[in-house]
Amino acid sequence: MTTQTLQGRIALVTGGTTGIGFGSAKRLIEHGATVYITGRRQEVLDAAVAKLGKGAHGIQADASVKADMQRVAGAIKAAHGKLDILFANAGGGHATPLEELTEAQIDSELSINIKGVVLTMQTMLDVLRNGASVVLNASITADMGLSGFAVYAATKAAVRSLARSWTTDLKHRDIRVNTISPGVVPTEGYGKEQKMTDQQVADYVDRVSTEIPAGRVGSAQDIGDALVFLASDASAYIRGVDLVVDGGMTRVYAGKN
Ligand SMILES: NC(=O)c1ccc[n+]([C@@H]2O[C@H](COP(=O)([O-])OP(=O)(O)OC[C@H]3O[C@@H](n4cnc5c(N)ncnc54)[C@H](OP(=O)(O)O)[C@@H]3O)[C@@H](O)[C@H]2O)c1
């Protein structure tokens, strides 16, 4: 069921062309928001905007490039004069044994997952209205030890930390900052970033589903629903928290006693 709780709200979802970002943008639109999405690949961006339909706008931009994000802020300001909801979602990484980790991979994961989130927040400050809701996309890996994901997990722990610091920094403007930590959400990224084949993804989903109390992996819409809550006035008293959306995977033992 959808309501129009976000009617009249202007939202930005970075990395909104596929996966969690796309599903979240779809949910925001279903709840009445006007949504700007970004991504680096123009043709993927155009296809996503067309699929999202009315209420969607696309701006090609790399979240880790300040000039790109300044251009995004300028376009939203010119069109609407304000931004009500910011979902800093663009990010990624993949598993690599410690011995094989290259400088390029370390730089790339730090750049998109930390620098990109900082630049997104900084460049949007001028257009974000007082009382706006900011949500950063973290990950359950932030408090797990997951083989090969050390750098990625550390960047996501940093994202959670940024949300707490910015909650203090932006207190005078009543801007709320929270994080969402998705669990296992099979997306295009599993093929593109993790280099998994469709069969490998299917086998992984089968295996991991039995370990998740909800009995299934998550969907981009599950994350979108959590985002709608954190973006709406229903969460007005919630600040600086991490909302784990993982079907209970990291908090509950799903096996037999
Ligand atoms: N899927 C999961 O299981 C899972 C779990 C926990 C957390 N997360 C987090 O969720 C977020 C989205 O992941 P996903 O699984 O939905 O990945 P995805 O399907 O690969 O989507 C990533 C999106 O971000 C865009 N993007 C990547 N780098 C960018 C950059 N530098 N600037 C702007 N856009 C960029 C991509 O488009 P372009 O490539 O065209 O730029 C695409 O739109 C990430 O932060 C990820 O760490 C995912």
pLDDT in tens, 102-155: 999 999 999 999 999 999 999 999 999 999 999 999 999 999 999 999 999 999
pLDDT at 171: 98
pLDDT in tens, 76-90: 999 999 999 999 999
**CA separation for the pair 37, 28 (Å, rounded):** 11
Residue whose Cα lies nearest atom 39 of ligand 1: it is 40
Q: Which CATH number is 10-183+219-244's, of 3.30.460.80, 3.40.50.720, 3.40.50.10310, 3.40.50.300?
A: 3.40.50.720
At residue 209, does pLDDT exceed 70?
yes
| Span(s) in the chain for CATH 3.40.50.720 | 10-183+219-244
Ligand 1 center to residue 15 CA distance, Å?
6
Task: Give 3-state DSSP helix, strand, coil % of the chain, rounded to 5.
Answer: 45, 15, 35
Interval 235-257 mean pLDDT: 92
**Count of CB atoms situated within 10 Å of the CB of 161:** 14
pLDDT at 11: 99
HEC sequence for 124-188: HCCCEEEEEEEEEECCHHHHCCCCCCHHHHHHHHHHHHHHHHHHHHCHHHCCEEEEEEECCCCCH
**CA separation for the pair 95, 10 (Å, rounded):** 35
Q: Which of 20, 71, 155 to mutate to test the pocket of ligand 1 (most atoms within 8 A of CB)?
A: 20
Q: Where are the beta strands (DSSP E) in 78-223?
A: 83-88, 128-137, 176-182
**CA separation for the pair 18, 193 (Å, rounded):** 13
Task: pLDDT band for 255, please (50, 70, 90 cuts).
Answer: confident
**CA separation for the pair 209, 205 (Å, rounded):** 6
At residue 1, does pLDDT exceed 80?
no
pLDDT at 256: 73
**CA separation for the pair 175, 130 (Å, rounded):** 6
pLDDT in tens, 146-194: 999 999 999 999 999 999 999 999 999 999 999 999 999 999 999 988 8
Asked if 190 is an active-site residue, the reply is: no
pLDDT in tens, 11-52: 999 999 999 999 999 999 999 999 999 999 999 999 999 999
CA 110 centroid distance within chain = 16
